[in-house]
Structure 1
Amino acid sequence: QKNTCLNYMTLRPELEATLIYCLLSTITILSVVLNLLVIISIYHFRQLQTCTNLLLLSLAVADFLVSSVQMPFQIFHYRGCWFLGDLACVVYYYSAFLVVSASVGNMVLISIDRYVAICDPLFYTTKITIRRVKGCIGLCWLFSTVHASWILREMLRQPDMYNTCIGECVLVVNYAEGIVDIIATFVAPFTVITVLYLKVFAVAVFQARAMRSHVGSLALPRSGTMAKKSELKAAKTLGVLVTVFILFSCPYYVFSVAVESSQIGASSGDIELWLVYFNSCVNPIIYTFSYPWFRKSIKRILTLQILQPNSRDSNIL
């Protein structure tokens, strides 16, 4: 018979616990609201349904799942004892692997989109189409679902197999699975993202210098065209998005590699994990400061103008 986890709970001073709960709850609510605004904006206004924005929509869905599922579960898990049952424990870990993998996949797709837009602008409209973007987004979420199902295949069959006491929610990942997970969701995608954005940055700098010196036509690439100013601005904004994502994610992956134990529990890497989750709140804040269309759409949503007839076809750009 298993013992209760109450004997092993981490007790913190009441004031400290209250302040932490308030802070994490505020971040959670803010993240839910902001990502919901992004989803409604891009989904509602047809003018915003471009290839790049569809990728941002997919990323916002992943961020919304983080803020509406992972963050509340993590707050509940904060004290170290799990009272929601084995099924909720499986949902907690499954959602974690799903949304992290989907977020990384969306970042790779965003990097590819910007690479083609800046480095091969002549063929951007033929290579990057709405249909292809939707297909890639579907494959990204399919891969994330398969990946999460494979990692948790044993836990899905027996949810409490790793628990040593009643009220515990623990996942044990063996060495081989851990290596595959790190390569699939960190090493490989982050290498692709870094290489693509280094090339984007190099080309963007070259084109900016060419435009400033008014001799761009003498030193253009073989494609014979240069990226539009709006594309360069979008690349800069999305570059900030990707950079922030990498900065917020790296500590957790470094922690995962460095830790010798393969057991992932409530007390393991809490700060690093919350950095990954906090990135879901930062993304829409970046949109707010970078995209005028997002600020306009927020105003129309909050003032309920989206309920008016034909509001989907409004000029929002």
Structure 2
Amino acid sequence: MSPLLRSPLAGSGPDLCYPLLLNASCRLSFRPRFTASLLYMLTFSLALLTVLLNLLLIVSISHFRQLHTPTNLVLLSLAASDLLIGLVLMPLEAHYYISSCWFLGPWLCYAYYMLCYVLTSASVASILLISLDRYLAVCQPLRYTSEVTMGRVQLAVGLCWSCAVVYNGSLLVVNTRGPPRRTSCQGECAVVVDGSSVLLELLVTFLAPISTVVALYLQVFAAALSQTRKMRSSRAAAAGGTVARRLELKAALRLGVVVVVFLLCFFPFIGFMAQEVSVNSAAWFWGAWLLYLNSCLNPLIRATVLH
């Protein structure tokens, strides 16, 4: 795959990002005022909604002791990454696409890309932990109660975030050797990543964990169907145990919705990376915002599985 390169929208008008630099400056995009205003309103409204919903979920899990469970701890990790996406990435992505100018300098451009990679990796890792948690709860309940503890889940979440920071930081440092300077004009935010690194990123961050998620949930759904049939046909089971198993199955199925929505929102983004779609094209923009929409939908879905 060719390098990931963010560049300004093609335009022939005289408006420049930095008028004093003349030929060295990138050009502003030319959009009708109504179109630009509508895009700003939609994207920033979605960003605000994402922040508020995830903040509400984080406060709820943190405040109520009965919600301090291993499953909800992983949901808390996912909500934290979604909150940062709405708070930082959505506004910056919207403004940069609509205006085609980056006014925050090379270091913040570098930080933006770093945060984008880290939050994406952390989200995928959290989805993987959710799938593993539900697999153990439904398919191996005895092992789940003895081995899945708050301490171990906290360690797993911490390792996921640490690995996301170290891996993606190393990837960007190796490819950029510092803040991005290889720009065609002033007002551009560009990070160049070679093809082998992009393939490694696709494999490590997306394909391997997502394949594992799908495999785990196929087993969860198969086990859920099997156990549902057994509970319907067996009258000898204890009432309390039957109720507990039903709750676990319902939680697994509802968390399955989280996973399915996640996959639907992520697949277009993965396809654009693999097919060399321009990072500043309209297709990439809407693909990225479909990915961001997942961060807004997640807290609405996850609120139904808190227990």
> What is the TM-score with the length of structure 1 in the denominator?
0.84
Of 274, 281, 294, 1:257 maps to 274
1:172 equivalenced with 2:192 (yes/no): yes
Deviations 1:56-106 (A, max 9, x none): 000000101111110011112122111111122111101100000000000
- Conserved 8 A contact 1:42-1:48: yes
Q: C-alpha separation between the residues in 1 aligned to 2:300 and 2:234?
A: 35
1:199 equivalenced with 2:219 (yes/no): yes
- Conserved 8 A contact 2:85-2:295: yes
1:231 equivalenced with 2:220 (yes/no): no
State the number of aligned residues: 282
- Conserved 8 A contact 1:155-1:161: no
Inter-CA distance 164–268: structure 2 relative to 1 (3 Å threshold): farther
Q: 1:161 Cα deviation (Å)?
A: 2.3
- Conserved 8 A contact 1:28-1:72: yes
Q: C-alpha separation between the residues in 2 aligned to 1:287 and 1:124?
A: 21
- Conserved 8 A contact 2:26-2:186: yes
Instruction: Find the residue that maps to 1:286 and give its secondary structure.
Output: helix
Instruction: Find the residue that maps to 1:152 and give its secondary structure.
Output: helix
**Residue identity in the other structure for 2:251:** A
The 4+ residue runs of structure 1 with deviation greater than 6 A are none
Instruction: Find the residue that maps to 1:81 and give its secondary structure.
Output: coil
- Conserved 8 A contact 1:116-1:124: yes
Q: Counterpart in 1 of 2:302? A: 287
Q: 1:140 Cα deviation (Å)?
A: 0.2
Q: C-alpha separation between the residues in 2 aligned to 1:228 and 1:267?
A: 47
Of 155, 160, 167, 1:135 maps to 155
Instruction: Find the residue that maps to 1:171 and give its secondary structure.
Output: coil
Q: C-alpha separation between the residues in 2 aligned to 1:27 and 1:162?
A: 32
Q: C-alpha separation between the residues in 1 aligned to 2:113 and 2:283?
A: 14
1:83 equivalenced with 2:120 (yes/no): no
Q: C-alpha separation between the residues in 2 aligned to 1:204 and 1:282?
A: 25
- Conserved 8 A contact 2:25-2:186: yes
Q: Counterpart in 1 of 2:49? A: 30
Deviations 1:195-214 (A, max 9, x none): 00000000000111111222
Q: C-alpha separation between the residues in 2 aligned to 1:249 and 1:236?
A: 20
Q: C-alpha separation between the residues in 2 aligned to 1:178 and 1:107?
A: 21
Q: Counterpart in 2 of 1:109? A: 129
Of 242, 246, 251, 2:263 maps to 246
Q: 1:158 Cα deviation (Å)?
A: 2.9
Of 25, 29, 35, 1:4 maps to 25
Runs (5+) with no aligned partner, structure 1: 218-224, 294-316
**Residue identity in the other structure for 1:277:** Y
Instruction: Find the residue that maps to 1:172 and give its secondary structure.
Output: coil
Inter-CA distance 206–15: structure 2 relative to 1 (3 Å threshold): same
Of 278, 290, 298, 1:275 maps to 290
Q: 1:154 Cα deviation (Å)?
A: 4.6
Of 110, 117, 134, 1:97 maps to 117
- Conserved 8 A contact 1:70-1:92: yes
Q: C-alpha separation between the residues in 2 aligned to 1:162 and 1:91?
A: 16
Q: C-alpha separation between the residues in 2 aligned to 1:268 and 1:174?
A: 22
Percentage of identical aligned residues = 42
Q: C-alpha separation between the residues in 1 aligned to 2:41 and 2:92?
A: 15
Inter-CA distance 156–69: structure 2 relative to 1 (3 Å threshold): farther
Q: 1:267 Cα deviation (Å)?
A: 5.6
Inter-CA distance 214–32: structure 2 relative to 1 (3 Å threshold): same
Q: C-alpha separation between the residues in 2 aligned to 1:151 and 1:265?
A: 21
> What is the TM-score with the length of structure 2 in the denominator?
0.86
Q: 1:47 Cα deviation (Å)?
A: 1.5
